[in-house]
């Protein structure tokens, strides 16, 4: 593999088995990072990502962990360190989305969304606070829906708003170690999560909401995450960057 901007770095991508996380894992590896591809349900998909990276000459490993379970997260970080050495880059991408009016929203769905999206990010950030190499990077994937008032997105948007505040505070707590902590907030991006439960007409309408007139692709998000992990972004911390083609 040709030399890349992340040669010698070790990265962990939660939910790296498909969608945006898959594109992030592949893009980090293409820049030379050794990448842990975390998954929880779809082992075959995670293995496919690892094989794709290895076929390109990169280093990768698939590790199962439910990010909402503290023991799983501890084991995930332990195995990452044992196999690849100290972690430099954490991307908190694993997430769930379920939509519905707040007045009708199911309590179990509320708990599950907060468990995966918020507690999951908290647990990995807590581990990373203890283990991340000085000069490392954390990127949390949030969502553009924290900036708009989309009916039916209330609970999902609330989980992402919580992650954005964790991001800002953690950047202050880890800054002395030259660790940057940022959030990337995608707009509508063409993945399983985005398309589930939507008609083609609804998908097309969301695509037209972007100034650039199309859905985002996972690679559109991955390129920005890679940038935040490179030395070129060393002076960016505590920020939440909308990556949405001008979605309003």
**Measured from the CB of residue 204, what is the shortest distance to ligand NAP in angstroms?**
14
Is residue 156 part of the annotated active site? The answer reads: yes
**228, 137 Cβ separation under 8 angstroms:** yes
Measured CA to CA, the distance from residue 164 to residue 140 in angstroms comes to 8
Nearer to ligand NAP, 17 or 180 (CB): 17
Nearer to ligand NAP, 140 or 237 (CB): 140
Residue 242 lies near ligand NAP (rule: CB under 6 A):
no
**Measured from the CB of residue 58, what is the shortest distance to ligand NAP in angstroms?**
18
**Measured from the CB of residue 232, what is the shortest distance to ligand NAP in angstroms?**
23
Binding to ligand NAP by CB under 6 A, coded x per residue (else -) over 40-79, reads xxx--x--------------------xxx-----------
Reduce the DSSP state of residue 10 to 3 states and report it.
strand
Residue 191 lies near ligand NAP (rule: CB under 6 A):
yes
> Which of the residues 76 through 135 are near ligand NAP (CB under 6 A)?
93-97, 116
Residue 186 lies near ligand NAP (rule: CB under 6 A):
yes
Q: Among 2, 82, 176, 192, which residue sits at the site for ligand NAP (rule: CB under 6 A)?
A: 192
**Measured from the CB of residue 131, what is the shortest distance to ligand NAP in angstroms?**
18
Nearest Cα to Cα of residue 244 among 134, 151, 145 = 145
Helix-helix angle 19-30:218-229, to 10 degrees? 50
Nearer to ligand NAP, 40 or 132 (CB): 40
Instruction: Tokens 């989980």: give the residue.
Output: 159
Measured CA to CA, the distance from residue 215 to residue 183 in angstroms comes to 20
From residue 5, how far is each of 29, 87, 241 by CA, in Å?
A: 10, 16, 21
Q: Among 15, 58, 136, 242, which residue sits at the site for ligand NAP (rule: CB under 6 A)?
A: 15
Nearest Cα to Cα of residue 185 among 128, 98, 246, 104 = 246
Helix (H) or strand (E) holding 113: helix 107-113
Measured CA to CA, the distance from residue 153 to residue 159 in angstroms comes to 10
**63, 36 Cβ separation under 8 angstroms:** yes
> Which of the residues 139 through 178 are near ligand NAP (CB under 6 A)?
141, 143
Measured CA to CA, the distance from residue 36 to residue 29 in angstroms comes to 10
**Measured from the CB of residue 182, what is the shortest distance to ligand NAP in angstroms?**
15
**Measured from the CB of residue 38, what is the shortest distance to ligand NAP in angstroms?**
6
Q: Among 124, 146, 182, 189, which residue sits at the site for ligand NAP (rule: CB under 6 A)?
A: 189
Measured CA to CA, the distance from residue 157 to residue 197 in angstroms comes to 17
Tokens standing for 163? Answer: 């992650």
- What are the residues binding ligand NAP (CB under 6 A)? 14-15, 17-21, 38-42, 45, 66-68, 93-97, 116, 141, 143, 186, 188-189, 191-194
Catalytic residue annotation: 156
């Amino acid at each position: 593999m040709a030399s890349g901007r992340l040669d010698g770095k070790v990265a962990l991508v939660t939910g790296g088995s498909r969608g945006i996380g898959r594109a992030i894992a592949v893009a980090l590896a293409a820049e030379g990072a050794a990448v842990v591809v975390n998954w929880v349900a779809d082992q075959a998909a995670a293995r496919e990502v690892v094989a794709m990276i290895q076929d390109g000459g990169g280093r990768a490993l698939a590790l199962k962990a439910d990010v909402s379970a503290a023991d799983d997260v501890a084991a995930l970080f332990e195995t990452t360190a044992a196999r690849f050495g100290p972690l430099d880059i954490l991307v908190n991408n694993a997430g769930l989305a379920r939509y519905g009016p707040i007045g009708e929203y199911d309590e179990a769905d509320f708990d599950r969304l907060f468990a995966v999206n918020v507690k999951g990010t908290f647990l990995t950030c807590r581990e990373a606070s203890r283990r991340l190499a000085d000069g490392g990077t954390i990127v949390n994937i949030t969502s553009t829906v924290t900036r708009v008032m989309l009916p039916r997105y209330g609970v999902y948007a609330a989980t992402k708003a919580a992650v954005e505040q964790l991001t800002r505070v953690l950047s202050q707590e880890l800054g002395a170690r030259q660790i940057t902590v940022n959030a990337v907030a995608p707009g509508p991006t063409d993945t399983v999560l985005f398309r589930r439960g939507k008609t083609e007409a609804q998908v097309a309408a969301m695509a037209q909401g972007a100034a650039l007139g199309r859905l985002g692709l996972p690679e559109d998000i991955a390129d920005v995450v890679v940038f935040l992990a490179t030395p070129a972004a060393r002076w960016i911390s505590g920020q939440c960057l909308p990556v949405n083609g001008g979605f309003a």
